[in-house]
Amino acid sequence: MSVSFKQYTKYNQKLWKFQCYLGKTEFGEEVRTTRSGFQTKKEAQQTYRQLQLDFDKNKLKMNGNITFKELYEEFIEQYRLKVKPSTIMITRRAIEDHALEYFGNKMLKDISVRFCTQVNRRWIRDGYKQAYYFRRAVAQILQYGVQQELILENPMRKTEPIKRQEIDEHLVATETMTVYTPKELAIFLESCKKHDNMKIETYFRVLAYTGARKSEILALEWNDINFDSNKLTISKTLAEVEYDPKSKKTKVASQSAKTNAGKRTISIDLETMAMLQEWRTRQQFEFKVLGIRATNKHQLVFPNKDNHFCRPGQPNDWYDVIATKYNLKRITLHEFRKTHVSLCAMADMNLEDIMYRVGHKDSKMTRQVYNYFYPEREERSADQFAQFIEKEKYLF
């Protein structure tokens, strides 16, 4: 018999215990256990049945008899220990909002290459630009199942890759790119000034004159700005992270830049530095009136009214108000980066210097914008070389 129940006496009280054999592990080891301290035999029997169910369920997993959702929940727990909090939220949204609908209740052993292919096609048909990432996230979880020896192979990896839309490095002359021209940028910044909100005015000045990402600027602290050397250090960004692993509720947090290229120290023009200096004084005054201390070491340059992180989408709201109020040409906040690259190209800056400035190690976007607004650079280089030779031919 695999289990035996016995009544015993302890401290003049009659209790129940049981000894049982649950089975063998995947390594062939026998699992036996003893439990005691039950008030009734029925209570002891219930505990035994639950132990046996849990053991059998775990053993079934070794044959792929575990749902994709169960595997995902196990995967995400260990994944939290390895990646940045923002990556967790990106993965959770991809899986919980788009993959569990199809894969959630399927047993691993029943997930086929054919089924994965059909789901991929449905994501593409439904127009999801992130379909390539959904496929990758599902494949990552199934690969975890392979590593745990729950399944022998990864069916999603056998499907045709979903290609992410590539950025064309060689734009033709008929194509257009949405950025602000120098005149349009000047009009926009003048409109920010008319709006009479110095935080917003300063924010967009920094956005336009550094090429930094909107969340990199929101994460700036005053100690990132060196007013003596006119340098700005970018090493952090704001991101939405988990507030509670049991829900999809998020909070805003600062985290380090994704890549080493994203960590950079760049020069700032004198007018922007003067504006930042003025904004710091104004900020301290405004918070002092509100009774909020704003002089600690990690004081944010662009906090919200409670002196906490702004939402990453807050600058979009500021932009929408100003563009609407003054009837301006609209671009996205990411296109402010393209605007910066385009103006750097027009200013005859070196490509590598521009890439460093905007935090790209090797970016197709930077090259695309640079090539678009500086198409004559190769011809100009040829002329410069010929002029150099002509000038220096008698030197040696």
| Distance set, CA 329 to CA 100, 189, 321, 326, 336 (Å) | 41, 12, 13, 9, 13
User: Across the chain, what does the average pLDDT equal?
Assistant: 84
| Matching residue, tokens 């063998």 | 24
Burial readout 48-80 (b: 16 or more C-beta within 10 A, e: otherwise): beebbeebeeebebeebbbbbbbbbebbbeebe
Number of other residues whose CB lies within 10 A of the CB of residue 176: 8
* Residue 340 pLDDT: 86
Return the CATH number of the domain spanning residue range 182-378: 1.10.443.10
Specify which of 42-56, 81-95, 110-124, 148-162 reaches the highest per-range mean pLDDT. Answer: 110-124
Q: Report the alpha-carbon distance of residue 313 to residue 358 in Å, rounded.
A: 20
How far, in Å, CA of 139 to CA of 154, rounded?
Answer: 7
- Provide the pLDDT for residue 379: 52
Q: How far apart are CA 29 and CA 161, in angstroms?
A: 42
Confidence tier at 53 by pLDDT (50, 70, 90): confident
Q: In this predicted structure, what is the pLDDT of residue 8?
A: 93
DSSP tag of 303: -
CA 310 – CA 238 distance, rounded (Å): 9
pLDDT at 374 over 70: no
Residue 186 token pair: 């000047």
Q: What fold characterizes domain 68-158?
A: DNA polymerase; domain 1 (1.10.150)
Question: In the chain, where are the structural domains located?
Answer: 3-61, 68-158, 182-378
pLDDT of residue 251: 82
Query: pLDDT tens digit string along 231-280?
Result: 999 999 888 887 777 777 778 888 887 666 568 898 889 999 999 999 99
pLDDT value at residue 396? 47
Report yes or no: 120 and 128 within 8 Å, Cβ to Cβ: no
CA-closest candidate to residue 232, choices 278, 259, 200, 264: 264
pLDDT at 171: 41
Mean per-residue pLDDT, 371-384? 56
E strands in 257-306: 264-267
Residue at token pair 């090259």 = 367
| Residues present in the chain in total | 396
pLDDT in tens, 162-202: 887 644 444 434 345 688 888 899 999 999 999 999 999 99
Q: How confident is the model at residue 370 (pLDDT cuts 50, 70, 90)?
A: low
Reported as a single tens digit per residue, the pLDDT across 294-336 is 888 899 999 999 999 999 899 999 999 999 999 999 999 988 9
Strands 231-234 and 3-10: unpaired
Q: What pLDDT sits at residue 349? A: 80
DSSP string for residues in 157-220: GGSPPPPPPPPPSS--TT-------HHHHHHHHHHHHHHT-HHHHHHHHHHHHH---HHHHHT-
Per-residue burial over 208-224, b = 16 or more CB atoms within 10 Å of its CB, e = otherwise: bbbbbbbbbbbbbbbeb
